[in-house]
Amino acid sequence: MAQSVPVKVDPARGQQLAGQVCAACHGADGNATSPANPKLAGQHPDYLYKQLVNFVPQKGAKEAERANAIMAGMAAGLSDADRRDLAAYFANQPLKPSSARNKDLVTLGQSIWRGGIAEKGVPACSGCHGPAGAGIPAQYPRLGGQWADYTESQLTQFRAGTRRNNAQMMTISARLSDTEMKAVADYIAGLR
């Protein structure tokens, strides 16, 4: 059986690309200053790479798995090596975490994160994303410390079917109310 050759990445080149292509929205170090844009610092490189691929329609597909006009334009101009270099660079940057803001919802958010909502068939978020939101490399993204507004918007997009690159999250989000989404997103922002 043939062994796969590891792909070489160049985080220094990724840093250069980040300064040219990504910094305006995501920050030069991947710590976006606007809650509308995700923090990329400290994210798993395989997850970042997958997202960059998902923003571009693949051969034979009419549209991208992840619809976003701005990111579609940005990602389309990147080579496979560019995507990997950017992912490696951002993964190695320290995350400047956000924080929970809504103390009235933190108990509900914590309950959903830790135990899910059994009567709705919603599993505990921590089952896939880990107790502290660190995720599982190559499978589930790091969520801890992410902007609550961004996380809530992604849950809403999964529920609406406008973000289609994870069937499991589409199903789970369809079972959450707006209040439950807001609560778990705010709780996630405070995870460390």
**For the segment 4-56, what is each residue's pLDDT rounded down to a tens digit?**
667 899 999 999 999 999 999 999 999 999 999 999 999 999 999 999 999 99
d(CA 160, CA 173): 9
Q: Are residue 178 and residue 113 in the same domain, yes or no?
A: yes
Task: Let me know if 69 is exposed, middle or buried by CB neighbors in 10 A (0-12, 13-18, 19+).
Answer: exposed
Same domain, 18 and 87: yes
Q: At 168, which CATH number?
A: 1.10.760.10
Owning domain of residue 154: 106-189
pLDDT at site 138: 83
Q: How far apart are alpha carbons 133 and 141 in whole angstroms?
A: 8
| Whether 110 and 182 share a structural domain | yes
Query: What is the pTM assigned to this prediction?
Result: 0.93
Q: Tokens for 28?
A: 């030069």
Q: Domain boundary at 91, 123, 156, which? A: 91
Q: Which two tokens stand for residue 86?
A: 């950017």
**Which residue, 91, 117, 139, sits at the end of a domain?**
91
Q: How many domains does the chain have?
A: 2
- Residue 50 to residue 69: CA distance in whole angstroms: 17
The pLDDT tens digits of the residues spanning 97-134 come to 999 999 999 999 999 999 999 999 999 999 999 999 99
On whether residue 100 sits in a domain, the answer given is no
Burial of 12 (0-12, 13-18, 19+ CB in 10 A): exposed
